[in-house]
Structures are given as C-alpha cells and as structure tokens.
Amino acid sequence: MRGIDVETLTYGWEGPGPLAVEVTKPIRGVSIEFEPHGKPMYITLWRPDGSGLRVHSEAHEIAQRMEIGVLRFTHLDSPSGSEMMLPINPEFNQQIDAFRLVVHESGVKAESGIVLRAKNGSEITIAAAAFPFMIAVDGVVQRPHIFEPEYPMEDFERLPIRAGES
C-alpha cells in the first residue's frame, strides 16, 4: 500500500540560528499589537538581553476558498520605543519548554501554534486566530477577543520542540 503524501506548512523564520533555540530562551516581558477591531496581530517576546522574537500569522491557501494560518517568527534586535511592555510570570525569565501546535486539515499538516511553558507549569499559548492574519494569545493578559484560535485547542497535536531542531 502506498503512503499518502501530506503537505507540511512549517513555521516561517527570519533570524540567526535555529528557531528551536530561540523559542526556548528566557522571556522577561511581552508586547502585543492590536488592530482597531481589538484583535491581536503581533506579539513580541522580549528577552533579558533586549532582543525580541516577534510572532504573527500568515494565511496559506490549502484548497479553493480555504486558508489556514501558520505562525511566522522574526528576530528583533531591540524594541522600537513605541512598544508597550506587559508583565508576565517571572518563571518565564529562565530557560523554558516549547511545544509545536500542529493541525491537520484537508491533507495538509500546518504549524499553526506554539505553547511556551515555564518550569512551574505556567503557559503562554500563541496560535493562528479565527480571523485571517490575526493571532490568538492566552496566558499573558485577559481582554475580549484575545484568545479565539482558528481551530479548537483539542484539534491541535502538541509536539515538543527540542533545541537541536532546525
């Protein structure tokens, strides 16, 4: 029996070194950029050294009139100055664990979210949102429409990200 080919849409990454190393680095704070309708479009995870890891969602067409969101990560050297920093659990200011959230849809496997877990079990979840190009964020701040993922959380496969991966 022949295997079924599954297209994989992986995280986008613009930065030095492997993304797997970047997502497990300590986080001292975050900033979130909201669109006028109140939904988050970008989150930046700020490091103790002042650099940041910006996350947003990109839409990929997987069938006619059907798109799926995949996360894209960008390394930033420093805040722009207009960033509004939000406090997070201090447990994140040390090496953290990261988990890839993968969804299977119409013969496509997509890396549509990530979970960052501190040693005390606290989690930050970032996923493609139900609204195109927006993100869903949980574990940072409570406000309306901040956590509306594209798929129910139980539909995601949660896979550990190891620092040696690319």
Quick check: is 12 in a domain? yes
Tell which wins on pLDDT, 106 or 152: 152
Number of domains in the chain: 1
Residue 120 sits in which domain range? 7-156
Quick check: is 140 in a domain? yes
pLDDT in tens, 24-41: 999 999 999 988 888 999
Quick check: is 114 in a domain? yes
Mean pLDDT of 55-65: 87
pLDDT at residue 1, rounded to an integer: 41
> From the centroid of its chain, how far is CA 121?
18
Quick check: is 166 in a domain? no
pLDDT in tens, 135-147: 999 999 888 889 9
Quick check: is 100 in a domain? yes
Quick check: is 15 in a domain? yes
- Amino acid found at 47: R
Does pTM top 0.85 for this prediction?
Answer: yes
- Read off the pLDDT band of 42 (50, 70, 90): very high
pLDDT at residue 36, rounded to an integer: 87
Quick check: is 125 in a domain? yes
